[in-house]
Amino acid sequence: MKRFTLIFIPYIWLAALFLVPFLIVVKISLSDTALAIPPYKPALDLAQGWAGLMAFLGDLDFENFTFLAEDDLYWKAYLSSLKIATISTILTLLIGYPIAYSMTRAAEEWRPTLLMLIILPFWTSFLIRVYSWMGILGQEGLLNQLLLWLHVISEPLKIMNTPTAVYIGIVYTYLPFLVLPIYAALDKLDDNLLEAAEDLGCSRFKAFWLVTIPLSMNGIVAGCFLVFIPALGEFVIPSLLGGSQTLMIGKVLWEEFFSNRDWPVASAVAVILLLILIIPIILFQRNQQKQRESEG
Amino acid sequence: MRRFSWFNATALTLGFAFLYLPMLVLIFYSFNKSKLVTVWAGFSTQWYGELFRNEAFLDAAINTLKVAVISSTIATVLGTMAAYVLIRSGRFAGRTLFSGMIYAPLVMPEVITGLSLLLLFIGIGLDRGILTIVLAHTTFAMCYVSVVVSSRLMTFDRSLEEAALDLGCSAFEAFRLVTLPIIAPAVISGWLLAFTLSLDDLVIASFTAGPSATTLPIKIFSAVRLGVSPEINALSTIMISVVAVGVISASLISKRAAVQQKRDEQAADRAAG
């Protein structure tokens, strides 16, 4: 009996507030826009019993998805989100790996402090960290002032409201997510393996390439997915730093819902975004599973 | 063998400069006299004064704290239950669905979570306000709590629980007297994580908040959309300082605990030897 209650309460909570809402999104993505409250049809009328259900199902169609497929805007938004998420994941890895690697080389007594310095931004408001770049990247921002003062450039660079600003924002906010799993993987690495590789004639660089990188692969994969998955549906960064030029699907969904008030299209956008995310999510889960098995 | 090279020193210096300079700039300019945030016009704390006189911000801050305290507390209870079920309950009907529902919200884009909850609330005719934000935050936060707690439960020596049961504890007593004290650090960090996620959340709150209740991130977002503002710099400085003090003292406490433990172990070794 007690065991039943223990399972029942969180189960029902998640079913009611995660699963059901998600099914509603799928249902509304198959509905039509209507000038009514709520602004879509058909509405399910359970009072009519079986006939009502059949009539309801008959009215659902894939019209919104055909609309998405035919309109250039959505294709471009999905592709540009994929491109932005991929490039920023690679950039984050290029910046994050050396940081994680150097942290494991630091003296033992320094490591907890370094680790704390990586974790601290994670507890700080995401919104504020994105916002902090607005004063730096703007036309009259600090970066332009500095570069002009140093005579590196003769007129201000336009960084704010371009994809470049979005890359900077994503790398900046997600860097700790990538550094932590790589640090964890590198920290466990047995130094004797590197010594053995060097004794057997490897150069230090070759030993790094043939030993360190493969042995930290789990951390690299986990870190990359932790950047890529949230970056793909990102809303805050493109809307604060990207301006109107940068097309990302999270922003399109938001505008479809709040500005155009087209709920069925917004829901269809959400369903497709999720379908795109399923592959990376499954790969990520599999990587985590493998890691747990190799540890356990 | 581990050598700390020039390359390592450079990577760490540049890396931490990248992570911290933007926040330091923000803090620096919050004390700027000028309304123009990029022109330094002398030291002033006027923006802090303006901030504390701005009632809309104060109301939003109170709402945010209310939501965060309530939702993270419920999420901690539900998340701990869920973790216990996942690790201890063995097989039951719908276990796969259950663990799927725990892990899926962690990777679900916020815009989708927000949209789907809003459509639910409208569907069942629930007025949007504090209650709906609390429900939304509790749902995603409980998943984070259950991941944190279940990783602790996995490494936990089950024979301790069994011993308590053998000695006559009821299942609940065994949980309260043995399991809970051992997993307490994970439960506390789960609560802190849930609390921070709730304080931080903009996207899900924007979907689920009604006109009657706004939270601080919603307020900040609508203010900074128009550009950099010195008042927001002041607010950010306060928020960053609170987090920094919290994280630094937590790490000092855990460091001291580790040192103490080492000392105790050495003393025990000496006594034994």
Predicted ipTM beyond 0.95? no
Burial of A2 (0-12, 13-18, 19+ CB in 10 A): exposed
Q: Per-residue pLDDT tens for B168-225?
A: 888 888 888 988 998 999 999 999 999 999 999 999 999 999 887 899 999 999 999 8
What pLDDT was estimated at residue B1? Answer: 47
Q: Mark out the alpha helices in A153-262 (DSSP H runs).
A: 163-187, 191-199, 204-207, 213-215, 217-232, 236-237, 249-258
Is the pLDDT higher at B127 or at A37?
B127
Note whether residue A26 is domain-resident.
no
Q: Which residue segment(s) compose the domain that A287 sits in?
A: 67-295
Provide the percentage of residues in chain A whose pLDDT is more than 70.
Answer: 92
User: Is any Cβ of chain B less than 8 angstroms from the Cβ of A173?
Assistant: no
Distance from the Cα of B166 to chain A's closest Cα (Å) equals 19
Chain A partners within 8 Å of B5 (Cβ): 105
Note whether residue A287 is domain-resident.
yes
Average pLDDT of chain A, as a whole number: 88
Nearest neighbour of A233 by CB, restricted to B37, B94, B112: B112
What pLDDT was estimated at residue B256? Answer: 84
User: How many structural domains is chain A composed of?
Assistant: 1
Task: Please calculate the CA angle A103-A130-A92 and round it to the nearest 5 degrees.
Answer: 40
Q: Per-residue pLDDT tens for B62-90?
A: 999 999 999 999 999 999 999 988 888 77
* 3-state secondary structure at position B43: strand
Distance from the Cα of A190 to chain B's closest Cα (Å) equals 11
Locate the domains of chain B by residue range: 54-229
Judge whether A171 and A88 are in contact, CB under 8 Å: yes
User: Is any Cβ of chain B less than 8 angstroms from the Cβ of A128?
Assistant: yes
Chain B 2-41, residues with CB within 8 Å of chain A CB atoms: 2-5, 7-9, 11-12, 15-16, 18-20, 22-23, 25-26, 29, 37-38
pLDDT classification of B27: cutoffs 50, 70, 90: very high
Distance from the Cα of A278 to chain B's closest Cα (Å) equals 10
Sequence-distant (≥ 6) Cβ neighbours of residue B12 within 8 angstroms = A99, A102, A103, A106, A114
Mean local confidence (pLDDT), B25-50: 86
* 3-state secondary structure at position B157: coil
What pLDDT was estimated at residue A205? Answer: 85
Chain A partners within 8 Å of B251 (Cβ): 112-113, 116
Chain B partners within 8 Å of A95 (Cβ): 15, 18
Chain B partners within 8 Å of A194 (Cβ): 1
User: Is any Cβ of chain A less than 8 angstroms from the Cβ of B51?
Assistant: no
Judge whether A59 and A41 are in contact, CB under 8 Å: yes
| Top-ranked range on mean pLDDT: pick from A36-40, A95-99, A198-202 | A95-99
Chain A partners within 8 Å of B172 (Cβ): 2
Q: Per-residue pLDDT tens for A142-190?
A: 898 889 889 888 888 899 999 999 999 999 999 999 999 999 999 988 8
Provide the percentage of residues in chain B whose pLDDT is more than 70.
Answer: 98
Cβ distance B89 to A133 less than 8 Å, yes or no, reads no
Provide the percentage of residues in chain A whose pLDDT is more than 90.
Answer: 48
Q: How many CB pairs under 8 A join A and B?
A: 234
pLDDT classification of A83: cutoffs 50, 70, 90: very high
The CATH number of whichever domain residue A97 belongs to comes to 1.10.3720.10
Mean local confidence (pLDDT), A91-119: 93
Q: Per-residue pLDDT tens for A43-59?
A: 665 566 676 677 677 77
Backbone angles phi, psi at A40, to 5 degrees: -155, 160
Reference B198, options B20, B16, B97, B75; nearest CA is: B75
How many Å apart are CA A281 and CA A275, to the nearest integer? 10
Superfamily of domain B54-229 in the CATH hierarchy:
MetI-like (1.10.3720.10)
Cβ distance B15 to A267 less than 8 Å, yes or no, reads no
pLDDT classification of A296: cutoffs 50, 70, 90: low
User: Is any Cβ of chain B less than 8 angstroms from the Cβ of A123?
Assistant: yes
What pLDDT was estimated at residue B191? Answer: 96
What pLDDT was estimated at residue B2? Answer: 62
Judge whether A149 and B223 are in contact, CB under 8 Å: no
